[in-house]
Amino acid sequence: MREFICSLLFCCAFAPMFAQSVSINTDGSVAHSSAILEVKSTNKGMLVPRMTTVQRDAIAAPAIGLLIYNTDLNVFQFRNGTIWVNLNSEKTLVDADGDTKIQVEESADEDIIRFDINGNERMVLRENANGAVRLDLGSNDANTYIGQNVGSSNTTGGSNTGIGNYALHSQTTGFNNVALGRYALYSNTGGFQNTGIGMEALYSNTTGGWNVGLGHGALRYNTTGGHNTATGHFAHYLNTTGYSNCAYGEESLYSNTTGFLNSACGKSTLSANTIGNNNVAMGSLSMYHNVSGNYNTSIGVSALWTNTTGNRNVALGYHAGFDFLHGDANTFVGADAQANADGYANSTALGSNTGITASNQVRIGDASVTSIGGFQSWTTLPSDARFKTNVRENVPGLAFVNKLRPVTYQVDIEGIHRYAGLAKNGEINLEASTQVRTGFLAQEVEKAAKEVGYDFDGVDAPKNEKDLYGLRYAEFTVPLVKAVQELDAENKALKTMLADMNKRLQRLEADKQ
């Protein structure tokens, strides 16, 4: 051994002189050509300087690559020129000051990976009892953030979940929010109970609460509006302060800003609505152009499509009320039920292709209908004497009836549609156009009534240049009854006259005898 030590001292002393590698061993082998120093042993180790953190930091001008063993941290450290860096240990990857680390066995054989940041355990990867992998994200405020700059401004907000780059980026005090997708709920500061799923869903929301945006850009510009639900690409896109709206379908309620209590279901339903409220639209493009109309209901593809400012209208069926721009309290039921002009009020069209041509009008069936009926007669209201005023017995009888000209006729259905400006969808019913009908000509009835000074409500005169004449045949009963009464009176007078003449004749015959 004495000879070995002498050899070692000799080599160390004269190594610079010979510029050769040094080998420390017990077998006399030469150092590897790539090493300046090679230590070899099969039963001993090599000790590097061992010291505390304070002692390490007292080393003057530590060289790059200087190696020590830190007894405070139980870890090898080397100098990288600026700071001391830990060499990877068996169970822990730790930073220089030991407050940020990854541990694979904090307790004996626990088979858990722990992630500490700034002295706090923030993430744990483990297995459940059934072997399923579970990732626990520890947070004192019950927030979960995954993605670049997610929740980076949070101060006191709690119970929030943000997943996706910049989701909940501006979040400060809001709580119970869920943001899933890039820029989802980006501007939210104090808003609460919101759910934004999809890129830029609820992007501009600041303090609005109880909103749900599902889809790219859903409720994109909502700021303080609350209780809104939007599902679909750009659904409820421009809403700012509107509240309690429901939008289901791509671009449904797209332009709504401050309108409230609207429900839209279908692609682009109520898309142009801005301030209208209490509207219901179901079906693709239903009520598409509505801007400020209120209390409207449309069900069917493109129903009430052009309505902009009309209120309290109802449309049920494909294209029902399609070209009706504005007007109030109208009802369209049936595919292509329509109006021939805008601005009507309180009118109803029932049946496919049925059209209204004026206000305060009800139309049942189009010109192709050949039969309308039921098991009971029509009841006219009001007929209660308690509510009739200015009652006068001035109805003409025979004077009016004798001027009427009963005729048979056929209806030019195409001519009616052309004149009234009503769209005709589908084939014309040939049976209806060839059917021989019995009745009067409205213009002749109107003339006869005027000639006898009779304000006859059996003539439904046109209310505008596109409206049609019509006759209410039930009203003819009244002058007919009057005519029968007149005939009965004449008959009774003739009977009295005839009886008187018979008496005279009997007396004359008796005088001759």
Q: Is residue 126 part of a domain?
A: no
Q: Is residue 447 part of a domain?
A: yes
Q: Are 262 and 282 in contact (CB under 8 A)?
A: no
pLDDT of the residue at 431: 81
Q: What percent of the chain has pLDDT over 90?
A: 69
pLDDT of the residue at 103: 84
3-class DSSP state for residue 137?
strand
Q: Is residue 444 part of a domain?
A: yes
pLDDT of the residue at 91: 64
Q: Is residue 66 part of a domain?
A: no
Q: Is residue 75 part of a domain?
A: no
Tokens 């009001």 locate to 382
pLDDT of the residue at 7: 47
Q: Is residue 51 part of a domain?
A: no
Residue ranges of alpha helices (H) inside 353-476 are 398-401, 413-420, 430-434, 442-451
CA 102 to chain centre: 46
pLDDT of the residue at 96: 73
Q: Is residue 448 part of a domain?
A: yes
Tokens 């018979």 locate to 502
Residue after which a domain boundary falls, among 11, 26, 46: 46
Task: Note the pLDDT tens digit of each residue in 426-446.
Answer: 777 778 888 999 999 999 999
Task: Note the pLDDT tens digit of each residue in 332-377.
Answer: 999 999 999 999 999 999 999 999 999 999 999 998 898 999 999 8
Strands (E), 262-364: 263-265, 280-282, 297-299, 314-316, 331-333, 338-339, 348-350, 355-356, 362-364
pLDDT of the residue at 11: 46
Task: Note the pLDDT tens digit of each residue in 169-226.
Answer: 999 999 999 999 999 999 999 999 999 999 999 999 999 999 999 999 999 999 999 9
pLDDT of the residue at 88: 64
- Secondary-structure breakdown of the chain: helix, strand, coil percentages, each rounded to the nearest 5: 20, 20, 60
Q: In 3D, which of 211, 179, 206 has the Cα closest to residue 194?
A: 211
pLDDT of the residue at 3: 45
Q: Are 272 and 259 in contact (CB under 8 A)?
A: no
Print the domain residue range for 42. Answer: 1-46
Please state whether the peptide bond connecting residue 62 to the residue before it is cis, i.e. omega within 30 degrees of 0: no
Tell me the C-alpha to C-alpha distance, in Å, between residue 468 and each of 199, 206, 303, 358, 361.
Answer: 55, 57, 25, 9, 12
Q: How many domains does the structure of the chain reveal?
A: 2
CA gap 512, 268 in Å, rounded: 104
pLDDT of the residue at 453: 96
CA gap 127, 432 in Å, rounded: 78
pLDDT of the residue at 127: 85
Q: Is residue 7 part of a domain?
A: yes
First vs last C-alpha separation in the chain: 196
φ, ψ for residue 223 (rounded to 5)? -115, -65
Q: In 3D, which of 173, 170, 157 has the Cα closest to residue 202?
A: 170
pLDDT of the residue at 61: 93
Give the residue ranges of the chain where pLDDT is below 50: 1-18
